[in-house]
Amino acid sequence: MRLTINQMTALRVLRGLRSGGKRLPSARTDLSAPDPSPRRHWSTSALPAERLLLTQPPDSKRPVHVAVPNQRLRPRTPCISATTYGTGLPDGSFVDLGDGLSIPCPELLFVELAARMVPAVHALLGYELCGSFSRDPNDPRTGRATLGIAPVTSVERIGRFIDRCSNVRGTVAARRSLEYVADNAWSPAETVVAALVALPVHELGYGLGKVTLNARRAAPPELVKLGAAASRIPDIEVDGLRVGFNYDGHDHLDLPSIARAATQEESDSAIDAVREKYVDDLRRNRELLATGRIVLPVTSEDLFRKNGLDAVMLEAALAEESLFGAKLPELRGTIASSALRRARQRLIWSLLPWDASLRYGHEIAERERATAESLSVEDAYVEF
């Protein structure tokens, strides 16, 4: 068998590799013709279901996505949806996974999915590919993410790849989305905040522009002499502004460990650990403030609460304006508009890891489909 999968099928396989601790092969190859050998024809049973991480047999509604070099080689079966690449792709746009299975390189995958995902979701994909985490392959929304792994590409590499493409569908949208992506994201929730900060107002973001993620900032030497940490890492910095953000989720302070303690000794140890983390966070914020950076905490409750993130962004605007004299009229305008607040909150809820996000995602995708026929509700919001 020889098969090149692409789009959502390839994304699932790539996530499976990363979540399983396997590195993506570095060698690149070109697109080859599909071959079902030793079978004569493509069918559901001819597909390598285990390697494709299929949880149910594919059909016309949930097909396996594949890439072929010309129309004549398209597999003629409802369970396979084919993309034809004749010319225009740079050499070495695919990765051979071995035993006849190939996928697009991460840069091409980002381009392919630009035409299928709404901008906010597509930006989140960019953060994931350029970051040190992977969503769960079969439950990317609510499944447990794998953290602390190597990125598979970077913003610069994606940009160079797009420059080398010629008349490839998705490059215009991909280049636009890439403007709002940054390297070095550490977690999915962090990227939701970063993407919304960076996305323009007409895409329901806050329009603050490019961000820098998890960059280490040195402390003043005189502080270090007095016992302060030598450096700190704010989660999200807005390029050109002094205000940034740290995402503090439910796991940030491990309060459940106190409740689970079976003995007084275990309880005391858990309390000490939580207190130590809390104090360290306070010191972190003070030490970053000493370097001229105000880092505001963003909690999971802020994302789920109606207008919660809007309030944090207004606080950031007030701090930036009152302390540093900056003027942020576009940010203030999008927060002041009740219509934009409502639409943005529904977008935020559609991106969060809870069951209700599917409903909000379907509603948004249905509206988007009125002007973008290629957009798939499932691709954009169920399997992102």
Q: How many CA atoms lie within 13 A of 219 on its CB side?
A: 20
Confidence of residue 278 (pLDDT cuts 50, 70, 90): confident
pLDDT at 164: 97
Structure tokens belonging to residue 266:
């275990």
Amino acid identity, residue 263?
T
Question: What is the DSSP code (8-state) at residue 68?
Answer: E
Amino acid identity, residue 371?
T
pLDDT at 376: 44
CB atoms within 10 A of CB 319: 16
Sign of the alpha-carbon dihedral angle for 380, 381, 383, 384: positive
Q: What is the pLDDT of residues 162-208, one digit of tens each?
A: 999 999 999 999 999 999 999 999 999 999 999 999 999 999 999 99
Residue 378, pLDDT above cutoff 60: no
pLDDT at 259: 60
Q: What is the pLDDT of residues 345-358, one digit of tens each?
A: 999 988 988 776 66
Residue 377, pLDDT above cutoff 50: no
pLDDT at 239: 95
CB atoms within 10 A of CB 83: 16
pLDDT at 383: 52
- CB-CB contact of 118 with 375 (8 Å): yes
Query: CA-CA distance, 124 to 118, in Å (whole number)?
Result: 10
Q: Residue 286 — φ and ψ, nearest 5°?
A: -65, -45
Confidence of residue 369 (pLDDT cuts 50, 70, 90): low
Segment 212-218 shows an average pLDDT of: 94
pLDDT at 86: 85
From the list 307, 330, 327, the residue with the least C-alpha distance to 318 is 327
Q: What is the pLDDT of residues 306-338, one digit of tens each?
A: 999 999 999 999 999 988 888 899 999 999 999
Is pLDDT larger for residue 232 or for residue 378? Answer: 232
From the list 173, 233, 245, the residue with the least C-alpha distance to 208 is 245
pLDDT at 277: 76
Q: What is the pLDDT of residues 144-155, one digit of tens each?
A: 999 999 999 999
What number of residues does the chain have? 384
Q: How far is CA 111 from each of CA 80, 116, 131, 326, rounded to the nearest angstrom?
A: 20, 10, 17, 36
- CB-CB contact of 287 with 222 (8 Å): no
pLDDT at 274: 72
Q: What is the pLDDT of residues 58-76, one digit of tens each?
A: 998 899 999 999 999 999 8
- CB-CB contact of 111 with 165 (8 Å): yes
- List strand residue ranges (DSSP E) for the chain, in order: 3-4, 28-29, 64-68, 80-84, 94-98, 101-104, 133-134, 146-147, 211-213, 217-218, 231-232, 236-238, 243-248, 294-299
Whether omega for the bond prior to residue 38 falls within 30 degrees of 0, making it cis, is: yes
Sign of the alpha-carbon dihedral angle for 64, 70, 73, 77: positive
From the list 344, 355, 300, 314, the residue with the least C-alpha distance to 190 is 300
- CB-CB contact of 90 with 105 (8 Å): no
Element (H, E) at 363: helix 356-369
Q: Specify burial of residue 216 (Cβ count, 10 A radius: 0-12, 13-18, 19+).
A: exposed
Task: Decide: helix, strand or coil at residue 5.
Answer: strand
The full set of domain ranges for the chain reads 105-382
